[in-house]
Amino acid sequence: MANASINHLSAQEAQVEIQQLQDQLTTYGIAYYEKDAPLVEDHVYDAAYARLQALEQAFPQFVTQDSPTQNVGAAQTKAGLAKVVHPVPMLSLGDVFSLEELGEWEDRTVKALGFQPEYNAELKIDGLAVSLKYENGRLVQASTRGNGLIGEDVTANVLTIDSIPKQLQEPITIEVRGEIYMPKASFVALNEERENKGLQPFANPRNAAAGSLRQLDANETKKRQLAAFIYYTAEADVLGADKQSDVLLRFAELGLPTNTTNRVLPKMAAIDDYLATYTAKRDELPYGIDGVVVKVNDLDAEVDLGNTVKVPRWAIAYKFPPEEATTVVRAIEWTVGRTGAVTPTAAMDPVLLAGTTVQRASLHNPDYLQEKDVRVGDTVTLHKAGDIIPEIGQVLLAKRPADAVPYPIPTTCPACGAELVHVEGEVVLRCINPTCPAQIQEKLTHFASRNAMNIDGLGPQIISQLLEKGLIKDVASIYWLTKAQVLGLEKFQEKSANNLIAAIQASKENSAERLLFGLGIRLVGAKVAQTIMATMKTIPQLAQASAEDIVAIDGVGQAIADALVAYFQKPDAKRLLAELQQAGVNLAYQSQHAEVNPDSFFYGKTIVLTGKLEEQARPAVVQWLTAHGAKVTGSVSKKTDLLIAGQDAGSKLAKAEDLGITVWSEADFTSAKAAEEQATS
Ligand SMILES: [Zn+2]
């Protein structure tokens, strides 16, 4: 395949080829969709598109907004998926970027209508638009926006999204529209998996969602855990609704996923509070947002206002200002991960970005670092990719110190000095020394981490001390630690030593999917570990299983099966298992944990409920949270991750605010819960 040679391209060669392919595909796309006169056969288009995607993945710095792979426009629609004509065009909304412009839009609207309308404000979800057609309540077609007039048929893929009902609660015929998105948790997990496999991570959840929805193989889409919010229909009369806010309520009655954070505004001035609320909560939402959509709530008024050629007059998108900061890079650090991947990270002067202090940003891999050409002393712009991950945007060359030099790529492991290797087909550098201390440190840290064995108090610093003193050497040896040994470490006293030993002992009782994940086998994430153990029941049984047996488990692919078989064949792994068993570590799966999804936003969080809940019974909320892996406790402390405050919340709310603990209203919880239920199968 063409991909093989990408590794040998220089950045300049790649840039030239990317530009050529972008131009070519745009021309093909226009001919195909707008002129309905294809210039080339489908497979030629597909091959060029695949080549462009591969190049852009390897050289993400050359991905432009108007690339056919990025752009929601004619050229994005690729051959391979069937075309769908939208009888009512899928218009995109007009954008404004300031409150002044929003005020001007209101002035025009009031003037056109001759009266002051009320508005419905909705969060603008960072995903991609989709149209769903239901006939007599049955989902018959799903399509992307495409160029607004013609989109792609993605029915097979949308059928794999659990939150989108195949059958509505009422046998009606209607076309509805909404946004398909990738929840932040799924995005983080997907990118981790990609980095593990040596693939370039997706830039943001929107790109990841678009790429996932437009897979030619629906099974691939299913794995990506997409979710949706439905927010529009041109046929509100079918629903008997005359307000946008009622349309949303009717959608919910029909079983369609809706986002319940919308708010009816009597006039535009009321938007200040809505904006303030969701600007502050943006980081905590389980999905990415990039602004707020304001719609005239009265649907008769909506019809009166109508559309311009390009955009509706009855709605406007207020885009959050780009959250960007500039700071100075002080060092580039190379860290060795538990799989041996050696990754550069920029250490920068601390800077406040979208609500959190940021001082580190991953530079992913040597290619990425070289293309961005980040140097020590450089002033760089920072933003949060997809609302979550700090990322360096660009180097401000005008501020570059005269003596700055390109950062050298190491040839040996910074931890053990072993020669680094570039594994074929991967973008990362790896240390393949099995006794590399940095890898051992990372393996142990992973083993003790919250989603693995969850050993409270056994963090990286303690592990590092234990390794230095030769008290531990691998994960099994953690279970041989004595209180006397722990007391010999810095800062440990009677009580803290007792606590650590107790936490280690308690972890022996964990259900075995935690151990399997904790072993840090390549490609075996927390969720996969759970899926496997639900079938295999015990680690020894899994260790004896063939790749065929493992692949037979629904949701487990060949690569994972091969990685497991290879792992358990190693003499070291056999010895480790025997030692863990001897130490009394539970190797069996306990089925009562079966439903807990470790990707859940609530997983492992300590949550307190207070005040009066209006929409749902408290025991049901507690049960739901527990089932999603949260620990619900009665009092607020520094260990509390989240307070859900109903009506008339009192001292607990005050204490949480004092401690700076995240506080949610019941409505926030309801929307997060809805998003979560969509995201999981
Ligand atoms: Zn090493």
pLDDT for 335-352, tens place per residue?
Answer: 898 888 899 999 999 887
Per-residue pLDDT tens for 1-43? Answer: 344 477 788 888 888 888 888 888 877 766 655 444 557 666 6
Mean pLDDT of 639-662: 86
The CA distance from 34 to 12, in Å, is: 32
Alpha carbon of 442 to ligand 1 centroid (Å): 11
Alpha carbon of 225 to ligand 1 centroid (Å): 35
CA atoms within 13 A on the CB side of 545: 22
Percent of the chain with pLDDT over 90: 45
Q: What is the pLDDT of residue 656?
A: 87
Q: How confident is the model at residue 80 (pLDDT cuts 50, 70, 90)?
A: low
Q: What is the pLDDT of residue 464?
A: 92
Residue 76 has pLDDT above 60, yes or no: no
Q: What is the pLDDT of residue 192?
A: 78
Mean pLDDT of 536-541: 93
Q: How confident is the model at residue 387 (pLDDT cuts 50, 70, 90)?
A: low
Reply yes or no on whether 491 is catalytic: no
Alpha carbon of 430 to ligand 1 centroid (Å): 8
Question: Checking phi first, is residue 173 left (phi over 0); if not, alpha (psi -120 to 50) or beta?
Answer: beta
Mean pLDDT of 650-672: 86
Alpha carbon of 449 to ligand 1 centroid (Å): 22
The CA distance from 181 to 158, in Å, is: 12
Going 623 to 624 to 627 to 628, the CA torsion angle's sign is negative
Contact between residue 157 and residue 173 where contact means Cβ atoms under 8 Å apart: no
Residue 680 has pLDDT above 80, yes or no: no
Residue 98 has pLDDT above 90, yes or no: no
Alpha carbon of 467 to ligand 1 centroid (Å): 15
The CA distance from 510 to 583, in Å, is: 13
C-alpha distance from residue 378 to each of 51, 138, 372, 373, 411 (Å): 33, 57, 11, 10, 23
Listing DSSP states for 423-472 in one string gives -TT-SSEEE--TT-HHHHHHHHHHHHSTTTT--TT--HHHHHHHHHTTS-
Name the least confident of 89-93, 169-173, 293-297.
89-93
Can you tell me whether residue 291 is helix, strand or coil? strand
Name the least confident of 149-153, 163-167, 188-192, 236-240.
188-192
Percent of the chain with pLDDT over 70: 92
The larger pLDDT score, comparing residue 360 to residue 613, is at 360
Q: Which of 496, 494, 495, 454 is nearest to 478 (CA)?
A: 454
Going 429 to 564 to 573 to 512, the CA torsion angle's sign is positive
Q: What is the pLDDT of residue 198?
A: 66
Contact between residue 603 and residue 629 where contact means Cβ atoms under 8 Å apart: yes
Q: Count other Cβ atoms within 10 Å, centred on residue 339.
A: 20
Question: What secondary structure letter does DSSP report for 72?
Answer: S
Q: How confident is the model at residue 615 (pLDDT cuts 50, 70, 90)?
A: confident
Alpha carbon of 307 to ligand 1 centroid (Å): 61
Alpha carbon of 455 to ligand 1 centroid (Å): 26
Residue 617 has pLDDT above 50, yes or no: yes
Alpha carbon of 340 to ligand 1 centroid (Å): 7
Alpha carbon of 341 to ligand 1 centroid (Å): 9
Alpha carbon of 176 to ligand 1 centroid (Å): 54
Name the least confident of 9-23, 212-226, 285-299.
212-226
Beta bridge partner(s), residue 451: none
Alpha carbon of 202 to ligand 1 centroid (Å): 27
Contact between residue 397 and residue 372 where contact means Cβ atoms under 8 Å apart: no
| 324-336 and 315-319 beta bridge pairing | unpaired
> Tokens in use for 435?
């006794």
The CA distance from 188 to 201, in Å, is: 9
Residue 549 has pLDDT above 90, yes or no: yes
Q: Where are the alpha helices (DSSP H) in 74-183?
A: 99-113, 155-158
Mean pLDDT of 259-281: 91
> Tokens in use for 230?
């439905």
Alpha carbon of 337 to ligand 1 centroid (Å): 9
> Tokens in use for 306?
């109508």
Alpha carbon of 157 to ligand 1 centroid (Å): 42
Contact between residue 657 and residue 606 where contact means Cβ atoms under 8 Å apart: no
Q: What is the pLDDT of residue 75?
A: 36
Token look-up 């001897």 returns 582
Residue 73 has pLDDT above 80, yes or no: no
Q: What is the pLDDT of residue 355?
A: 62
Beta bridge partner(s), residue 327: 380
Residue 496 has pLDDT above 80, yes or no: yes
C-alpha distance from residue 288 to each of 40, 130, 180, 207, 384 (Å): 37, 17, 11, 12, 11
The larger pLDDT score, comparing residue 65 to residue 225, is at 225
Mean pLDDT of 314-327: 87
The size of the chain, in residues, is 681
Q: Count other Cβ atoms within 10 Å, centred on residue 642.
A: 22
Contact between residue 318 and residue 294 where contact means Cβ atoms under 8 Å apart: yes
Q: How confident is the model at residue 74 (pLDDT cuts 50, 70, 90)?
A: very low
The CA distance from 495 to 497, in Å, is: 5
Q: Which of 192, 212, 211 is nearest to 364 (CA)?
A: 192
The larger pLDDT score, comparing residue 566 to residue 671, is at 566
Q: What is the pLDDT of residue 339?
A: 81
pTM: 0.52
Q: How confident is the model at residue 263 (pLDDT cuts 50, 70, 90)?
A: very high
Residue 551 has pLDDT above 60, yes or no: yes
Listing DSSP states for 2-63 in one string gives GGGGGGG--HHHHHHHHHHHHHHHHHHHIIIIIS---SS-HHHHHHHHHHHHHHHHH-GGG-
Residue 450 has pLDDT above 50, yes or no: yes
Q: What is the pLDDT of residue 104?
A: 94
Alpha carbon of 329 to ligand 1 centroid (Å): 25
Mean pLDDT of 494-499: 91
Average pLDDT score, the chain: 86
Q: Count other Cβ atoms within 10 Å, centred on residue 250.
A: 18
C-alpha distance from residue 41 to each of 16, 28, 32, 74, 577 (Å): 24, 10, 10, 17, 55
> Highest mean pLDDT range out of 26-40, 54-68, 225-239, 599-613?
225-239
Residue 175 has pLDDT above 90, yes or no: yes
Mean pLDDT of 90-113: 91
Q: How confident is the model at residue 587 (pLDDT cuts 50, 70, 90)?
A: very high
Question: Checking phi first, is residue 36 left (phi over 0); if not, alpha (psi -120 to 50) or beta?
Answer: left
- The residue annotated as part of the active site, out of 78, 124, 184, 281, is 124
Contact between residue 373 and residue 465 where contact means Cβ atoms under 8 Å apart: no
Q: How confident is the model at residue 264 (pLDDT cuts 50, 70, 90)?
A: very high
